[in-house]
Amino acid sequence: MSVFLSFAFLAAILAHTGCNNQRRGPEASGRRFNRIQHGQCTYTFILPEQDGNCRESTTDQYNTNALQRDAPHVEQDFSSQKLQHLEHVMENYTQWLQKLENYIVENMKSEMVQLQQNAVQNHTATMLEIGTSLLSQTAEQTRKLTDVETQVLNQTSRLEIQLLENSLSTYKLEKQLLQQTHEILKIHEKNSLLEHRILEMEERHKEEMDTLKEEKENLQSLVTRQSNIIQELEKQLNKATSNNSVLQKQQLELMDTVHTLITLCSKEGGAKPSFLLKEEEKPFRDCADVYQSGFNKSGVYTIYINNVSDPKKVFCNMEIAGGGWTVIQHREDGSLDFQKNWKEYKMGFGSPSGEHWLGNEFIFAITSQRQYSLRIELMDWEGNRAYSQYDRFHIGNEKQNYRLYLKGHSGTAGKQSSLILHGAEFSTKDADNDNCMCKCALMLTGGWWFDACGPSNLNGMFYTAGQNHGKLNGIKWHYFKGPSYSLRSTTMMIRPLDF
């Protein structure tokens, strides 16, 4: 700003000295402005307009470059004078500009030095402020970087620990995976071996099935032939039975005749012949009578039961515990199915020489003749034998559902009785007389005095060796071999108490 004012002041002075007769007031409005650009600075000059009345400047002594001219002629026109005057003014301007340039250069040097000093001072102060600010910011950033570095280190440590834990977990998982892979390979090998064995078993099974089919066909043909033979034998047996019945009737008639003769002989005072006494003892009520008649070999005998019209064939055991036992039940090989109905258990089934049930009606009739004891012979699949014996035994009639009555237990087949001693009624698959809602005869199979399914059932399902364990519906006697052991053989037999 000061430079511009100085320039303006100098321009005003130069303008004043440029023309002595310069007009003022209204005439001074004809000024011109001239601007010169020098570097970054702009210079403005106010140039006055010269009129025709301006006289030639008396400063020719300053114009060293002026040409020497002759004295002007009076007759020069106004244009020539004007041109000369302008040339003179231009020369003056040129000199003025040179001086102004020198002045500006000298003043600019000092001002530039001052400006540079001020700029250096200001720059130094600014740099100090900036440096201080940068130092404080640097310290703050350093502190923040330290905190961040600490956090990064902590996080890095945690990540390293976690990485180690993950590595350990990965190692454990890989180890477990290897173990499982090894186990899977073992299982695969076992499966392959089992598949191979299964294929071999299937082949053998197929061969065995083919063989069994052939054997089955052979057995079927054999069974057919045997059935025909059995039918013929049954016909012959029926004929023999009918003949035997006729013979027995004839024997009874003969015995009546003998009794009549004996009566007549006794009245006449004669002695009884020995052959007549022997014939008199032949009608047997049970096997005890047979034994006492001199027949001491076990086998099938015919007995005559009170209140039973037809004679009954029974098996007599003459060897165990003194003999004289009438067998009412026998199991030995599973050849006979004991899952029968009420009527079949009433009248009996099977062969006296093999597996059979004598019949509830006949058991009731025999035990009604006199007092009987009961003996039950048992044998397991290991060959061990045991027995249970009851001093008193009899059953009720059909209206009483053949209710069981027992008294006085002893024997080696358990300290306690596996039969309900008193009051149990007989049940079959079609006659549920037990004390359980589950129908024991259907669940345990066979007909028996179940009560509430009880600890015994000698008429259950027959199981062979190796399959007789864990069978609740087998031939069981709880206090001998437990509730789920199926026995090999059983025999129930009765004998008069006074034998």
According to the model, what pLDDT value does residue 326 have? 97
Query: Which residues neighbour 63 within 8 Å (Cβ) at sequence distance 6 or greater?
Result: 88, 91, 92, 95
According to the model, what pLDDT value does residue 314 have? 96
- Residues found in the chain: 499
Residue identified by tokens 């600010």 is 133
Mean pLDDT (whole number) for 465-490: 93
For 171, the 3-state DSSP assignment is helix
According to the model, what pLDDT value does residue 477 have? 96
According to the model, what pLDDT value does residue 32 have? 55
For 493, the 3-state DSSP assignment is strand
* The model's pTM: 0.47
**Which amino acid makes up residue 354?**
G
Mean pLDDT (whole number) for 307-326: 93
Q: What is the pLDDT of residues 188-210, one digit of tens each?
A: 888 888 888 888 888 888 888 88
Lowest mean pLDDT among 3-12, 40-49, 125-134, 177-186: 3-12
**Which amino acid makes up residue 48?**
P
Q: What angle do helix axes 2-18 and 78-268 make, rounded to 10 degrees?
A: 160
Mean pLDDT (whole number) for 453-479: 93
Structure tokens at 36: 């010169």
Q: What is the pLDDT of residues 51-82, one digit of tens each?
A: 444 444 444 444 444 444 444 454 456 777 88
Q: How far apart are CA 425 and CA 330, in angstroms?
A: 21
Lowest mean pLDDT among 361-365, 398-402, 448-452: 448-452
Structure tokens at 5: 């004012």
According to the model, what pLDDT value does residue 42 have? 64
Query: Which residues neighbour 54 within 8 Å (Cβ) at sequence distance 6 or greater?
Result: 19, 21, 22, 85
Q: What is the DSSP letter of 111?
A: H
Lowest mean pLDDT among 6-20, 196-210, 368-382: 6-20
Lowest mean pLDDT among 110-124, 155-169, 187-201: 110-124
According to the model, what pLDDT value does residue 272 have? 45
Q: What is the DSSP letter of 298?
A: -
Cα first-last separation, the chain: 165
pLDDT of 244 > 70? The answer is no
pLDDT of 279 > 80? The answer is no
Containing 157, the helix (H) or strand (E) segment is: helix 78-268
According to the model, what pLDDT value does residue 252 have? 66
Q: How far apart are CA 209 and CA 24, in angstroms?
A: 153
Q: How far apart are CA 348 and CA 362, in angstroms?
A: 8
Residue 174, beta-bridge partner list: none
For residue 341, name the pLDDT band (cuts at 50, 70, 90).
very high
Query: Which residues neighbour 469 within 8 Å (Cβ) at sequence distance 6 or greater?
Result: 484, 485, 486
According to the model, what pLDDT value does residue 370 have? 92
Lowest mean pLDDT among 126-140, 163-177, 419-433: 126-140
Task: Kindly state the percentage of the chain with pLDDT values over 70.
Answer: 78
HSE (side-chain half, CA atoms, 13 Å) at 384: 8
Structural domains of the chain, ranges and CATH numbers in brackets? 2-66+74-133 (no CATH), 283-496 (3.90.215.10)
Q: How many CB atoms lie within 10 A of CB 73?
A: 8
Mean pLDDT (whole number) for 294-302: 92
For 288, the 3-state DSSP assignment is helix
